[in-house]
Amino acid sequence: MERMTIIDIAKMCGVGVTTVSRAMNNHPDISEETKAMIMKVIKENHYVPNNSARNLKRSASKTIAVLIKGITNPFFNHMIKVFEQEIQRKKYSFFLQRVDENQDEIEVAIELEKEKRLKGIVFLGGYFSHSQEKLNQLTVPFVLSTIGMTEEFDLNNYSSVSVDDFKESYRMVDYLCNQGHTKIAIITAAMDDVSIGKLRYEGYKQALKDNGIDYNAQLVWCMKENIESYTMENGYTVTKEMLETKEEFTAIYAISDNLAVGACRAIIEAGKRVPEDYSVAGFDGLDISFYYNPSLTTMKQPVVEMAEETIKILFDLINKKITHSHKIFPAELIVRESTRSLL
Q: Return residues touching a second copy (CB under 8 A).
A: 1-4, 8, 11-12, 41, 44-46, 50, 55, 58-63, 71-72, 74, 77-78, 80-81, 84, 88, 91, 93, 95-96, 98, 115-118, 231-233, 236, 261-262, 264-265, 268, 287-288, 290-295
State the nearest-atom distance from the C-beta of 77 to a second copy, in Å: 4
Nearest alpha-carbon partner for 196 in 261, 260, 126, 253: 126
Residues 107 and 122 sit within 8 Å (Cβ to Cβ): no
The minimum distance between CB 205 and a second copy, in angstroms, equals 28
44 or 214: CB nearest a second copy:
44
Query: Helix or strand or coil: residue 110?
Result: helix
User: Which residues in 265-288 are b (16+ Cβ under 10 Å) and which e?
Assistant: bbbeeeeeebbeebbbbbbbbbeb
Smaller CB separation from a second copy, 104 or 228: 228
Q: Which is nearer to a second copy, 92 or 166 (CB)?
A: 92
Least distance (Å) between residue 120 CB and a second copy: 13
SS3 category, 171: helix
Between 220 and 268, name the residue whose CB sits nearer to a second copy.
268
Helix (H, G, I), strand (E, B) or coil at 120: strand
The DSSP output letter for 284 is B
| Cα 152 from chain centre | 18
Closer to a second copy by CB, 193 or 257: give it.
Answer: 257
Closest separation in Å from C-beta 47 to a second copy: 8
Measure the CA–CA gap between 62 and 60, rounded to whole angstroms. 6
Nearest distance, CB of residue 131 and a second copy, angstroms: 27
C-alpha distances (whole Å) from 181 to each of 173, 265, 327 are 9, 21, 33
By beta-carbon proximity to a second copy, the closer residue of 161 and 274 is: 274
Closest CB to a second copy among residues 250, 289: 289
We find the least distance from the C-beta atom of residue 74 to a second copy, in angstroms, to be: 7
Q: How far apart are the C-alpha atoms of 323 and 311, rounded to whole Å?
A: 15
Q: Shortest approach of a second copy to residue 282 CB, angstroms?
A: 13
143 by DSSP, 3-state: which?
A: strand
* Nearest CA-CA partner of 82 in 70, 66, 98, 71: 66
